[in-house]
């Protein structure tokens, strides 16, 4: 059994208005991850990912690409162990 990873990923670049959140949520659900994704007022997209470490790593790799119209310039990852897990993966409002 794989270790469970919990991370916050912040994605910079052209990631708002291009379907990034919806595509991110779809991909995360396909990988069996729990968490959320939301836009930030500073133009970034932020996601909380929780699940088996290999699946979280696959998701992080996907987040560098995103949907076709996205242009990711930076991806920051921070540990988020101990955060409360939502029941599935959701798209949250902008903060």
Active site amino acids: 21, 39
β-partners of residue 37 are: 47, 91
β-partners of residue 7 are: 49, 79
Please check whether residue 16 is in contact with residue 69, taking contact to mean a CB–CB distance below 8 angstroms: no
CA-to-CA distance for 16 and 79, rounded, in angstroms?
A: 24
């Amino acid at each position: 059994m794989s270790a469970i990873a919990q991370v916050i990923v912040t994605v910079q670049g052209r990631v708002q208005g291009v379907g990034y959140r919806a595509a991110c949520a779809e991909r995360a659900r396909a990988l069996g991850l729990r968490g959320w994704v939301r836009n930030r007022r500073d133009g970034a997209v932020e996601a909380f990912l929780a699940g088996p470490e290999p699946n979280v790593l696959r998701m992080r790799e996907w987040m560098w690409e995103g949907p076709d119209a996205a242009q990711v310039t930076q991806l920051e990852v921070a540990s988020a162990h101990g955060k409360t897990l939502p029941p599935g993966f959701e798209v949250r409002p902008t903060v």
